Protein backbone atom coordinates (compact mmCIF):
# COMPACT_ATOMS: atom_id res chain seq x y z
CA UNK A 1 0.00 0.00 0.00
CA UNK A 2 1.41 3.37 -1.01
CA UNK A 3 1.93 6.15 1.50
CA UNK A 4 -0.74 8.19 -0.30
CA UNK A 5 -3.38 5.50 0.24
CA UNK A 6 -2.30 4.95 3.84
CA UNK A 7 -2.54 8.68 4.58
CA UNK A 8 -5.93 8.87 2.88
CA UNK A 9 -7.31 6.11 5.06
CA UNK A 10 -5.92 7.79 8.16
CA UNK A 11 -7.45 11.11 7.09
CA UNK A 12 -10.79 9.38 6.56
CA UNK A 13 -10.85 8.06 10.13
CA UNK A 14 -10.24 11.56 11.48
CA UNK A 15 -12.55 13.50 9.16
CA UNK A 16 -15.44 11.03 9.50
CA UNK A 17 -15.75 12.16 13.12
CA UNK A 18 -16.37 15.78 12.10
CA UNK A 19 -20.07 16.63 12.28
CA UNK A 20 -19.48 19.61 9.98
CA UNK A 21 -18.80 17.14 7.15
CA UNK A 22 -22.15 15.42 7.45
CA UNK A 23 -25.17 16.18 5.30
CA UNK A 24 -27.31 19.11 6.37
CA UNK A 25 -30.33 17.23 5.02
CA UNK A 26 -31.62 14.26 6.98
CA UNK A 27 -32.09 10.71 5.80
CA UNK A 28 -35.82 11.37 6.17
CA UNK A 29 -36.73 9.11 9.06
CA UNK A 30 -38.04 12.10 11.00
CA UNK A 31 -40.96 12.15 8.52
CA UNK A 32 -42.25 8.93 10.07
CA UNK A 33 -43.58 7.88 13.46
CA UNK A 34 -44.88 4.60 14.81
CA UNK A 35 -48.57 4.21 15.58
CA UNK A 36 -48.81 3.31 19.25
CA UNK A 37 -50.68 0.09 20.02
CA UNK A 38 -52.16 0.26 23.52
CA UNK A 39 -53.50 -3.31 23.12
CA UNK A 40 -50.47 -5.19 21.80
CA UNK A 41 -51.80 -8.63 22.93
CA UNK A 42 -48.23 -9.90 23.34
CA UNK A 43 -45.80 -10.21 26.24
CA UNK A 44 -42.57 -8.22 26.18
CA UNK A 45 -40.55 -11.31 27.06
CA UNK A 46 -41.78 -13.01 23.90
CA UNK A 47 -40.57 -10.30 21.49
CA UNK A 48 -37.86 -11.82 19.26
CA UNK A 49 -35.48 -9.50 17.38
CA UNK A 50 -33.41 -12.28 15.79
CA UNK A 51 -33.21 -13.32 12.14
CA UNK A 52 -31.10 -15.35 9.72
CA UNK A 53 -29.10 -13.33 7.19
CA UNK A 54 -27.01 -15.03 4.49
CA UNK A 55 -27.02 -18.21 6.53
CA UNK A 56 -25.92 -16.59 9.81
CA UNK A 57 -28.19 -16.19 12.81
CA UNK A 58 -28.19 -12.61 14.12
CA UNK A 59 -29.59 -11.61 17.50
CA UNK A 60 -30.80 -8.35 16.00
CA UNK A 61 -30.67 -6.93 12.47
CA UNK A 62 -27.80 -4.47 12.73
CA UNK A 63 -24.68 -4.26 10.59
CA UNK A 64 -21.70 -2.36 11.94
CA UNK A 65 -20.91 -0.80 8.59
CA UNK A 66 -17.53 -0.77 6.87
CA UNK A 67 -15.07 1.77 8.26
CA UNK A 68 -11.43 0.97 7.78
CA UNK A 69 -8.58 -1.45 7.37
CA UNK A 70 -4.96 -1.36 6.37
CA UNK A 71 -3.52 1.29 8.70
CA UNK A 72 -2.18 0.98 12.22
CA UNK A 73 -5.29 2.46 13.82
CA UNK A 74 -7.49 -0.11 12.04
CA UNK A 75 -6.18 -3.02 14.06
CA UNK A 76 -7.63 -1.76 17.35
CA UNK A 77 -10.75 -0.47 15.56
CA UNK A 78 -11.57 -3.76 13.85
CA UNK A 79 -10.70 -5.79 16.94
CA UNK A 80 -13.06 -3.74 19.09
CA UNK A 81 -15.88 -3.71 16.53
CA UNK A 82 -15.54 -7.46 15.99
CA UNK A 83 -15.56 -8.25 19.70
CA UNK A 84 -18.74 -6.20 20.08
CA UNK A 85 -20.38 -7.89 17.08
CA UNK A 86 -19.55 -11.30 18.53
CA UNK A 87 -20.89 -10.38 21.97
CA UNK A 88 -24.13 -8.82 20.71
CA UNK A 89 -24.78 -11.14 17.76
CA UNK A 90 -24.85 -8.52 15.01
CA UNK A 91 -23.01 -8.34 11.67
CA UNK A 92 -19.76 -6.56 10.83
CA UNK A 93 -18.57 -5.09 7.56
CA UNK A 94 -14.86 -4.39 7.08
CA UNK A 95 -13.26 -1.51 5.24
CA UNK A 96 -11.84 -2.03 1.75
CA UNK A 97 -9.54 -5.05 1.64
CA UNK A 98 -7.54 -3.45 -1.18
CA UNK A 99 -4.77 -2.72 1.31
CA UNK A 100 -4.53 -6.38 2.29
CA UNK A 101 -4.38 -7.43 -1.35
CA UNK A 102 -1.51 -5.04 -2.03
CA UNK A 103 0.47 -5.29 1.20
CA UNK A 104 1.04 -8.28 3.43
CA UNK A 105 1.86 -5.93 6.30
CA UNK A 106 -1.74 -4.74 6.52
CA UNK A 107 -3.47 -8.13 6.50
CA UNK A 108 -3.58 -8.48 10.27
CA UNK A 109 -5.79 -5.39 10.61
CA UNK A 110 -8.48 -7.36 8.76
CA UNK A 111 -7.81 -10.89 10.02
CA UNK A 112 -8.10 -9.71 13.63
CA UNK A 113 -11.83 -9.29 12.98
CA UNK A 114 -12.42 -13.01 12.45
CA UNK A 115 -10.14 -13.82 15.37
CA UNK A 116 -12.28 -11.65 17.67
CA UNK A 117 -15.58 -12.67 16.07
CA UNK A 118 -15.35 -16.39 15.24
CA UNK A 119 -19.09 -16.87 14.76
CA UNK A 120 -20.35 -13.43 13.69
CA UNK A 121 -21.50 -12.56 10.18
CA UNK A 122 -18.45 -10.90 8.61
CA UNK A 123 -18.41 -9.13 5.25
CA UNK A 124 -15.31 -8.23 3.25
CA UNK A 125 -15.40 -5.09 1.12
CA UNK A 126 -13.82 -3.95 -2.15
CA UNK A 127 -14.21 -0.95 -4.43
CA UNK A 128 -15.64 -1.23 -7.92
CA UNK A 129 -12.32 -0.08 -9.42
CA UNK A 130 -10.67 -3.28 -8.20
CA UNK A 131 -13.66 -5.38 -9.28
CA UNK A 132 -13.41 -4.03 -12.83
CA UNK A 133 -9.90 -5.48 -12.92
CA UNK A 134 -11.20 -8.98 -13.69
CA UNK A 135 -7.84 -10.59 -12.97
CA UNK A 136 -8.25 -9.73 -9.28
CA UNK A 137 -11.02 -12.27 -8.57
CA UNK A 138 -8.83 -15.19 -7.57
CA UNK A 139 -6.72 -13.02 -5.28
CA UNK A 140 -9.82 -11.59 -3.61
CA UNK A 141 -11.32 -15.06 -3.19
CA UNK A 142 -8.14 -16.35 -1.57
CA UNK A 143 -8.11 -13.56 1.00
CA UNK A 144 -11.85 -13.85 1.68
CA UNK A 145 -11.33 -17.54 2.32
CA UNK A 146 -8.54 -16.77 4.78
CA UNK A 147 -10.79 -14.21 6.45
CA UNK A 148 -13.67 -16.72 6.51
CA UNK A 149 -15.90 -13.96 5.15
CA UNK A 150 -19.60 -14.64 4.69
CA UNK A 151 -20.08 -12.20 1.78
CA UNK A 152 -18.24 -9.62 -0.30
CA UNK A 153 -19.45 -6.02 -0.41
CA UNK A 154 -18.70 -4.16 -3.64
CA UNK A 155 -18.88 -0.44 -3.01
CA UNK A 156 -19.81 2.20 -5.58
CA UNK A 157 -18.52 5.73 -5.03
CA UNK A 158 -18.33 7.65 -8.32
CA UNK A 159 -18.45 11.19 -6.94
CA UNK A 160 -16.19 10.38 -4.01
CA UNK A 161 -13.61 9.16 -6.52
CA UNK A 162 -14.19 12.23 -8.72
CA UNK A 163 -13.43 14.62 -5.86
CA UNK A 164 -10.71 12.49 -4.30
CA UNK A 165 -7.09 13.48 -4.77
CA UNK A 166 -5.72 10.88 -7.20
CA UNK A 167 -9.11 9.18 -7.28
CA UNK A 168 -10.19 6.62 -9.88
CA UNK A 169 -13.46 7.86 -11.47
CA UNK A 170 -13.44 5.25 -14.25
CA UNK A 171 -16.78 3.48 -13.99
CA UNK A 172 -17.35 2.35 -17.57
CA UNK A 173 -18.07 -1.38 -17.56
CA UNK A 174 -18.92 -1.44 -13.85
CA UNK A 175 -22.32 -3.12 -14.25
CA UNK A 176 -20.92 -5.85 -16.52
CA UNK A 177 -18.16 -6.49 -14.00
CA UNK A 178 -20.66 -6.78 -11.16
CA UNK A 179 -22.68 -9.27 -13.22
CA UNK A 180 -19.53 -11.35 -13.78
CA UNK A 181 -18.68 -11.39 -10.08
CA UNK A 182 -22.24 -12.28 -9.09
CA UNK A 183 -22.06 -15.29 -11.40
CA UNK A 184 -18.52 -16.45 -10.68
CA UNK A 185 -17.41 -15.29 -7.24
CA UNK A 186 -17.48 -17.87 -4.48
CA UNK A 187 -19.41 -15.74 -1.95
CA UNK A 188 -22.68 -13.79 -2.02
CA UNK A 189 -22.24 -10.27 -3.39
CA UNK A 190 -23.64 -7.19 -1.65
CA UNK A 191 -23.57 -3.94 -3.61
CA UNK A 192 -23.58 -0.65 -1.72
CA UNK A 193 -22.91 3.05 -2.10
CA UNK A 194 -20.76 4.89 0.41
CA UNK A 195 -23.17 7.66 1.38
CA UNK A 196 -24.72 9.22 -1.72
CA UNK A 197 -27.25 6.42 -2.02
CA UNK A 198 -28.51 3.89 -4.55
CA UNK A 199 -31.43 5.28 -6.56
CA UNK A 200 -34.43 3.15 -7.50
CA UNK A 201 -33.17 2.97 -11.09
CA UNK A 202 -29.72 1.76 -10.05
CA UNK A 203 -31.19 -0.85 -7.71
CA UNK A 204 -33.35 -2.18 -10.56
CA UNK A 205 -30.32 -2.32 -12.87
CA UNK A 206 -28.41 -4.26 -10.24
CA UNK A 207 -31.32 -6.63 -9.77
CA UNK A 208 -31.42 -7.24 -13.51
CA UNK A 209 -27.83 -8.57 -13.49
CA UNK A 210 -28.46 -10.93 -10.57
CA UNK A 211 -27.63 -8.87 -7.49
CA UNK A 212 -29.86 -10.00 -4.63
CA UNK A 213 -28.60 -7.87 -1.74
CA UNK A 214 -28.00 -4.10 -1.81
CA UNK A 215 -27.08 -1.55 0.82
CA UNK A 216 -28.69 1.81 0.04
CA UNK A 217 -26.07 3.80 2.00
CA UNK A 218 -28.06 6.92 1.36
CA UNK A 219 -27.69 10.63 2.02
CA UNK A 220 -28.05 11.89 5.56
CA UNK A 221 -24.89 10.82 7.38
CA UNK A 222 -21.24 11.44 6.60
CA UNK A 223 -20.75 13.04 3.18
CA UNK A 224 -17.68 11.56 1.54
CA UNK A 225 -17.62 14.30 -1.08
CA UNK A 226 -17.22 16.84 1.73
CA UNK A 227 -14.61 14.65 3.42
CA UNK A 228 -12.58 14.44 0.20
CA UNK A 229 -12.99 18.21 -0.25
CA UNK A 230 -11.16 18.77 3.02
CA UNK A 231 -8.24 16.69 1.78
CA UNK A 232 -7.71 18.70 -1.39
CA UNK A 233 -4.55 20.87 -1.44
CA UNK A 234 -4.42 24.60 -2.14
CA UNK A 235 -3.66 24.10 -5.84
CA UNK A 236 -7.02 22.32 -6.24
CA UNK A 237 -9.24 25.27 -5.27
CA UNK A 238 -11.53 24.91 -8.30
CA UNK A 239 -12.30 21.30 -7.41
CA UNK A 240 -12.56 22.19 -3.73
CA UNK A 241 -15.05 24.99 -4.35
CA UNK A 242 -17.02 22.79 -6.73
CA UNK A 243 -17.38 20.20 -3.97
CA UNK A 244 -19.37 22.67 -1.86
CA UNK A 245 -22.11 22.47 -4.48
CA UNK A 246 -22.45 18.76 -3.70
CA UNK A 247 -22.66 19.01 0.09
CA UNK A 248 -26.22 17.62 -0.01
CA UNK A 249 -26.04 15.53 -3.18
CA UNK A 250 -27.61 12.11 -2.84
CA UNK A 251 -30.65 9.93 -2.29
CA UNK A 252 -32.04 10.15 1.28
CA UNK A 253 -32.25 6.65 2.69
CA UNK A 254 -35.88 6.70 3.80
CA UNK A 255 -37.06 8.05 0.44
CA UNK A 256 -35.45 5.13 -1.38
CA UNK A 257 -37.05 2.67 1.05
CA UNK A 258 -40.45 4.32 0.71
CA UNK A 259 -40.45 4.17 -3.10
CA UNK A 260 -38.68 0.85 -3.59
CA UNK A 261 -40.68 -2.08 -4.91
CA UNK A 262 -38.13 -4.75 -5.70
CA UNK A 263 -37.78 -8.36 -4.62
CA UNK A 264 -34.37 -7.93 -3.09
CA UNK A 265 -32.80 -8.04 0.35
CA UNK A 266 -32.29 -4.44 1.41
CA UNK A 267 -29.77 -3.10 3.90
CA UNK A 268 -30.59 0.45 4.96
CA UNK A 269 -27.65 2.60 5.98
CA UNK A 270 -26.81 6.26 5.65
CA UNK A 271 -27.98 8.89 8.10
CA UNK A 272 -29.57 6.73 10.77
CA UNK A 273 -28.93 9.07 13.65
CA UNK A 274 -31.10 7.57 16.40
CA UNK A 275 -31.80 3.99 17.47
CA UNK A 276 -35.48 4.41 16.60
CA UNK A 277 -34.43 5.14 13.01
CA UNK A 278 -33.38 1.51 12.79
CA UNK A 279 -36.87 0.34 13.69
CA UNK A 280 -38.41 2.74 11.15
CA UNK A 281 -36.07 1.52 8.40
CA UNK A 282 -37.07 -2.08 9.09
CA UNK A 283 -40.78 -1.27 9.04
CA UNK A 284 -40.22 0.51 5.71
CA UNK A 285 -38.78 -2.67 4.24
CA UNK A 286 -35.12 -3.09 5.16
CA UNK A 287 -33.98 -6.51 6.33
CA UNK A 288 -30.82 -5.20 7.95
CA UNK A 289 -29.77 -1.74 9.08
CA UNK A 290 -26.22 -0.41 8.84
CA UNK A 291 -24.51 2.11 11.12
CA UNK A 292 -20.96 3.40 11.35
CA UNK A 293 -20.67 6.89 12.80
CA UNK A 294 -22.01 6.10 16.26
CA UNK A 295 -19.49 3.30 16.65
CA UNK A 296 -16.34 4.95 15.26
CA UNK A 297 -15.05 6.79 18.34
CA UNK A 298 -15.46 3.91 20.83
CA UNK A 299 -14.00 1.57 18.23
CA UNK A 300 -10.89 3.69 17.67
CA UNK A 301 -10.33 4.12 21.42
CA UNK A 302 -10.82 0.42 22.13
CA UNK A 303 -13.77 1.14 24.42
CA UNK A 304 -15.48 -2.23 24.10
CA UNK A 305 -17.75 -1.69 27.11
CA UNK A 306 -18.94 1.66 25.77
CA UNK A 307 -19.55 0.20 22.34
CA UNK A 308 -21.49 -2.73 23.75
CA UNK A 309 -23.66 -0.37 25.78
CA UNK A 310 -24.41 1.70 22.67
CA UNK A 311 -25.34 -1.41 20.69
CA UNK A 312 -27.55 -2.64 23.53
CA UNK A 313 -29.53 0.59 23.35
CA UNK A 314 -30.10 0.03 19.61
CA UNK A 315 -31.22 -3.55 20.24
CA UNK A 316 -33.47 -2.62 23.15
CA UNK A 317 -35.04 0.22 21.17
CA UNK A 318 -36.02 -2.21 18.42
CA UNK A 319 -37.49 -4.62 20.96
CA UNK A 320 -39.55 -1.84 22.57
CA UNK A 321 -40.72 -0.55 19.18
CA UNK A 322 -41.91 -4.04 18.28
CA UNK A 323 -43.71 -4.36 21.62
CA UNK A 324 -45.19 -0.88 21.29
CA UNK A 325 -46.66 -1.77 17.89
CA UNK A 326 -47.86 -5.24 18.91
CA UNK A 327 -45.42 -7.34 16.88
CA UNK A 328 -43.48 -10.17 18.51
CA UNK A 329 -41.63 -11.59 15.49
CA UNK A 330 -39.20 -9.66 13.32
CA UNK A 331 -40.49 -11.24 10.12
CA UNK A 332 -43.87 -9.64 10.83
CA UNK A 333 -42.26 -6.27 11.55
CA UNK A 334 -40.01 -5.96 8.47
CA UNK A 335 -41.86 -4.17 5.66
CA UNK A 336 -44.99 -3.68 7.77
CA UNK A 337 -45.74 -0.09 6.80
CA UNK A 338 -49.13 -0.21 8.52
CA UNK A 339 -47.19 0.32 11.74
CA UNK A 340 -46.09 3.77 10.54
CA UNK A 341 -47.68 7.14 9.96
CA UNK A 342 -46.18 10.18 8.25
CA UNK A 343 -45.52 13.22 10.42
CA UNK A 344 -45.51 15.59 7.44
What does 124-172 look like in DSSP terms, one character per residue? EEEEHHHHHSGGGHHHHHHHHHHHT-SEEEEEE-HHHHHHSTT-----T
Assign 63 a pLDDT band (cuts: 50, 70, 90).
Answer: very high
User: Is it the case that residue 215 has pLDDT exceeding 90?
Assistant: yes
d(CA 144, CA 88): 23
Question: H or E segment at 91?
Answer: strand 91-93
In this prediction, residue 115 carries a pLDDT of: 97
pLDDT for 23 equals: 93
Q: Residue 248 domain-assigned?
A: yes
Q: Rounded mean pLDDT of 6-28?
A: 86
Q: 95: domain CATH number?
A: 3.20.20.70
| pLDDT range class, residue 1, cuts 50, 70, 90 | low
What is the structure's pLDDT at 264?
A: 94
Which of 164-168, 190-194, 198-202, 251-255 shows the lowest per-residue confidence on average (mean pLDDT)? 164-168
Whether 331 is covered by a domain: the verdict is no
* Pairing mode of beta strands 62-64, 288-291: parallel
What angle, rounded to 10 degrees, do the helices at 3-15 and 224-231 form?
Answer: 120
Instruction: Decide if 10 is inside a domain.
Output: yes
Stretch 66-87: mean pLDDT, rounded? 90
Query: For residue 126, is it within any domain?
Result: yes
Residues 80-139 pLDDT 10s: 999 999 999 999 999 999 988 887 778 999 999 999 999 999 999 999 999 997 678 999
d(CA 78, CA 244): 32
Residue 3: which pLDDT band, with cuts at 50, 70 and 90? Answer: low
Question: Does residue 13 surpass a pLDDT of 60?
Answer: yes
Residue 290 has pLDDT above 70, yes or no: yes
pTM for the model stands at 0.95
CA distances for 9 relative to 3, 4, 98, angstroms: 10, 9, 11
Q: Dihedral through CA 69, CA 229, CA 218, CA 305, nearest 10?
A: 40
For residue 34, being part of any structural domain is answered with: no
Domain count for the chain, please give it: 1
Say if 35 falls within a structural domain: no
Taking residues 245-253, what's their average pLDDT? 96
Residue 33: inside a domain: no
What is d(CA 142, CA 21) in angstroms, rounded to the nearest whole number? Answer: 36
Average pLDDT over residues 273-302: 95
Is 225 a domain residue? yes
Q: What is the pLDDT of residue 2?
A: 60
Q: How many helices (H) and strands (E) does the chain have?
A: 16, 12
Domain that holds residue 141: 3-28+57-313
| Phi/psi at 60 (5° precision) | -160, 155
Amino acid sequence: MTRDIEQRKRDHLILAQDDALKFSISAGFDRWRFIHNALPEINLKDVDTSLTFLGKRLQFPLLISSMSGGVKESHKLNATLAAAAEKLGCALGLGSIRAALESGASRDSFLIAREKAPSAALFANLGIAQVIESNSMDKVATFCNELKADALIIHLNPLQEAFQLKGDPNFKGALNSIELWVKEFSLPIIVKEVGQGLSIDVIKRLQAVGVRVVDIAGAGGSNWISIERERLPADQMVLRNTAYEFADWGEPTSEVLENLNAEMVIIASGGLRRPLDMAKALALGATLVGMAGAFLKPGLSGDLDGLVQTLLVWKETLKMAMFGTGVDRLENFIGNRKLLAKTY
